[in-house]
Amino acid sequence: MEDVTGVPATTTTTAVLRALECLNVSRIAMATPYLDDVSQLEVDFFHKLGIEVTNWKGGGIVETADIQECSPDISYQRAKEVDNDRAEAIFISCTGFRSIENIAKLENELGKPVISANQATFADSLRILGINDVKEGYGSLFGEYLSQLSVVPEKVQLAG
């Protein structure tokens, strides 16, 4: 996108990988709303990039509208279910899977960072815009990530 438009840009995948790098995380537990075969594709993707998925659970949902109708309680419970001692962080996948209300609560309860797809995308967008002031309560990623604004990350190279 940047090459074509000449404007700084990001994607959710790039933002999540940058968030994991920022937090120095190489082992995650993953919560998704997806069917198991779709979730497994994500596990395989992370594995190819050297990120271990220590545990994961999908929700068996196919339709985007159904994912968007999920209560934040569902992502909260799923994140707690996948947590384990080996995971350095929890990743809540899917931009339609509502979770922002519970990220700080999960971090307090689980004692580790929690990263959601939307949170990572938003943090990377703020980095691009040079904004480093975010209201507290939406997870530790914002403080860690945005404190590194002077550090411009390398372009993330996806396995292909």
Give residue-wise pLDDT tens across range 65-74: 888 888 889 9
> Who wins on pLDDT, 61 or 102?
102
The pTM (predicted TM-score) of the whole model is: 0.88
Report the share of the chain in percent with pLDDT over 70.
Answer: 90
Assigned domain for 3 exists:
no
Judged by DSSP in three states, 12 sits in: helix
30 in a structural domain: yes
Q: How many domains does the chain have?
A: 1
CATH of the domain at 52: 3.40.50.12500
**Alpha-carbon span 30 to 116, nearest angstrom:** 10
Mean pLDDT, residues 91-117: 95
Q: What confidence category does residue 50 fall into, taking pLDDT thresholds of 50, 70 and 90?
A: very high
Domain that holds residue 42: 11-146
Q: 160: pLDDT confidence band, cut at 50, 70 and 90?
A: low
Q: 61-65 long-range contacts, Cβ below 8 Å, gap at least 24?
A: 61/33, 61/34, 61/35, 62/35, 64/96
Asked whether residue 6 is assigned to any structural domain, the reply reads no
- Whether residue 118 lies inside any domain: the answer is yes
pLDDT over 70 (residue 155): no
pLDDT of residue 131: 81
Q: What is the mean pLDDT of the chain?
A: 89
* Half-sphere CA count of 136, side-chain side, radius 13 A: 2
Q: Would residue 65 count as lying in a domain?
A: yes
**Residue 155 is assigned to a structural domain of this protein:** no
Task: Average the pLDDT over each of 18-22, 75-79, 108-112, 133-137 and give the range with the smallest value.
Answer: 133-137
